[in-house]
Structure 1
Amino acid sequence: MNASRFRRPPEFKLTDVAQQLVGGFLLAGPFVVTEEVWSLAGSMNAIQALLTVAVVFAIGYASLYKANDDRDVDAEQEVGGIPLRFISLMLVSFGSVTILALLFDAPDVFVSGSLMTLPTIETTLKAVSVGSIFSVVGASTADTLF
């Protein structure tokens, strides 16, 4: 008999969220203050933005549950059928970029003060989706390694 299948999975704790936060903020910072990210966001259409969000979700899921042999998605704590760890990862990934963008006043610096024609909120959401690609890598790596 395989004893590992009877092991209880580790509980998702506040320390896991803290690890995700450290990794998410660490990799989000440089992309929030990069003019190229905001220029890309300004030129993206809605489909590109949605596909970027899908990439963030795919990277997050794959890094938590496919690249890690010790973690079983079916054994995780869930909220509405979605693993709590994955929900936290998405909130941290998108949230860290949003918080830093607002703290650094990036939408006003890179959008309002430029020649971009898209509304600030739309461009900001697209820039957050781009930055979240990198934030999710940091957040999931920190969660997996520590």
Structure 2
Amino acid sequence: MKIRRPRRPRQFRVADSAQQIVGGFLLAGPFVVTEEVWILAGSMSAIQAVLTVCVVSAIGYGALYTADTTRDPDVEQEVAGVPVRFISLLLVSFGSVLILALLFNAPTAFLDDVETRSAVTWITFKAVSVGSVFSIVGAATADSVFSK
């Protein structure tokens, strides 16, 4: 006998994104304004940045679909085979860190000795990837705890 696990509605609602945004911003803030994060980002290589993005994605997917056993990615709305909820989670996680970094003028504050605009952009990308490790935890937790 196979026990069916309860499934959540297939529809991804605006309220779900709002919950993710609250959680993402909540945990992103402290890391955007920490100088150590920007120093760390400046010393990271390209492969480390890409691997950090992969870790963020794995944490998000695991939090949504492995830790929360009532959610099934196979029954959710998809875009190109990827669940919309997961896409939203990634956008919120990276977006919340980037928005706060730009809002607080963190790249200018922490990277005043960097000479080229492309270098500032690259280090900002790496800092956003580091901050997103924490932001995705908050976003996924809020989505799982508050969704019905």
TM-score scaled by length of structure 2: 0.91
Unaligned runs of 5+ in 1: none
Per-residue CA deviation, residues 91-117 of structure 1 (Å, 9 max, x unaligned), is 000000000000000000001x24688
Aligned residue pair count:
145
Counterpart for residue 101 of structure 1? 101
What secondary structure, in the 3-state scheme, does the structure 2 residue paired with 1:89 have? helix
- After superposing on structure 2, the runs of 4+ consecutive aligned residues of structure 1 that deviate more than 4 Å are 1-8, 115-118
Q: Is the Cα contact below 8 Å between 2:7 and 2:72 reproduced in 1?
A: no
What secondary structure, in the 3-state scheme, does the structure 2 residue paired with 1:119 have? helix
What secondary structure, in the 3-state scheme, does the structure 2 residue paired with 1:67 have? coil
2 CA distance for matches of 1:115 and 1:80? 39
Q: Is the Cα contact below 8 Å between 2:8 and 2:71 reproduced in 1?
A: no
TM-score scaled by length of structure 1: 0.92
1 CA distance for matches of 2:86 and 2:121? 26
Shift of 1:8: 6.4
Q: List aligned pairs for 1:72-83, cutoff 5 A.
A: 72-83=72-83
Counterpart for residue 12 of structure 1? 12
Unaligned runs of 5+ in 2: none
1 CA distance for matches of 2:96 and 2:61? 18
Counterpart for residue 55 of structure 1? 55
- What code does the residue aligned with 1:54 have? C
Counterpart for residue 139 of structure 2? 139
Shift of 1:70: 0.2
Q: Is the Cα contact below 8 Å between 2:21 and 2:92 reproduced in 1?
A: yes
Q: Is the Cα contact below 8 Å between 2:8 and 2:70 reproduced in 1?
A: no
**Structural RMSD (CA):** 2.0
Counterpart for residue 121 of structure 1? 121
2 CA distance for matches of 1:35 and 1:44? 14
